């Protein structure tokens, strides 16, 4: 299930590296929870509708944002939290919430990214390397992560994920969150599997750190 938020215009400049604000708002609305320490069965898009300025972003007509989750109890708690405390960041607040049921999908679907896809690989010395759509092995990690999330949710379905490398405008983006730089991909992904598995991916996102604003798809 997906929640679409319409936010008011900002009165303070939104920094380019604003994503940690969205994660903070998510957990504020959820209240006390164990989601910080568990695998994320939810995903957060980035803000849409902004215009770049010298110091960051402005949203003169407000912003659009969505959160998706496989567990509908998360959705219900988010709605209650947003109604109680609608402040998001930079004096932007929730004006409207629309709830979207998970669509019906076929066995193979191509999705656009609503937040960049992040893939982290550790070598034998536990040093992290960030993979992008340019790396063939990235698809292996995308698939492994989705399968792990399916298993965590108790869903016994097969699925695979790969980048759509026929997309001519694919690019990488360096994203800084809490002073940590992350090399990510802005490139559509193709999810293949049972319709339930495709629905699941639409909700939980793809790749790593979907709970921190990466890998949301639409």
User: DSSP labels for 94-116?
Assistant: EEEEEEEPPPP--SEEEE-BSS-
Q: Do 158 and 194 form a contact (C-beta atoms < 8 A)?
A: yes
Q: How confident is the model at residue 98 (pLDDT cuts 50, 70, 90)?
A: very high
CB neighbour class for 37 (10 Å; exposed up to 12, middle 13-18, buried from 19): exposed
| Residue that is written with structure tokens 């939290």 in the block | 81
Residue 37 pLDDT > 80: no
Q: What is the pLDDT of residues 171-182, one digit of tens each?
A: 999 999 888 899
Token pair of 165, please? 């490398």
* Burial track 85-122 (b if 16+ CB lie within 10 A, e otherwise): ebebbbebbbeeeeeeebeebeeebebebbbbbbbeee
Q: What is the pLDDT of residues 50-66, one digit of tens each?
A: 999 989 999 999 999 99
Q: How confident is the model at residue 126 (pLDDT cuts 50, 70, 90)?
A: confident
Q: How confident is the model at residue 123 (pLDDT cuts 50, 70, 90)?
A: confident
| Residues whose CB is less than 8 angstroms from the CB of residue 195 and which lie 6 or more positions away in sequence, other chains included | 104, 105, 106, 107
CA distances from 199 to 6, 128, 206, 217 (A): 24, 30, 12, 11
């Amino acid at each position: 299930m997906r929640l679409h938020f319409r936010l008011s215009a900002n009165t303070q400049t939104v920094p380019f590296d604003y994503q940690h604000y969205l994660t903070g708002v998510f957990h504020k609305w959820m209240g006390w929870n164990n989601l910080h320490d568990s695998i994320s069965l939810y995903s957060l898009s980035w803000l849409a509708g902004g215009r770049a300025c010298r110091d960051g972003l402005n949203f003169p007509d407000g912003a659009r944002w969505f959160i998706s989750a496989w567990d509908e109890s998360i959705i219900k708690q988010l709605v209650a939290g947003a109604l109680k405390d609608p402040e998001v960041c930079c004096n932007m607040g929730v004006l409207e919430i629309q709830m979207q049921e998970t669509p019906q999908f076929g066995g193979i679907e191509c999705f656009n990214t609503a937040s960049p896809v992040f893939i982290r690989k550790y070598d034998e010395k536990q040093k992290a390397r960030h993979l992008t759509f340019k790396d063939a092995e990235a698809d292996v990690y995308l698939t492994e992560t989705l399968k792990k999330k399916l298993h965590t949710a108790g869903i016994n379905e097969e699925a695979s994920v790969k980048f759509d490398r026929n997309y001519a405008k694919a690019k990488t983006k360096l994203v800084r969150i809490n002073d940590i730089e992350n090399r990510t991909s802005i490139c559509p992904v193709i999810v293949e599997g049972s319709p339930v598995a495709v629905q699941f991916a639409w909700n939980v996102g793809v790749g790593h750190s979907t709970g921190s604003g990466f890998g949301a798809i639409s």
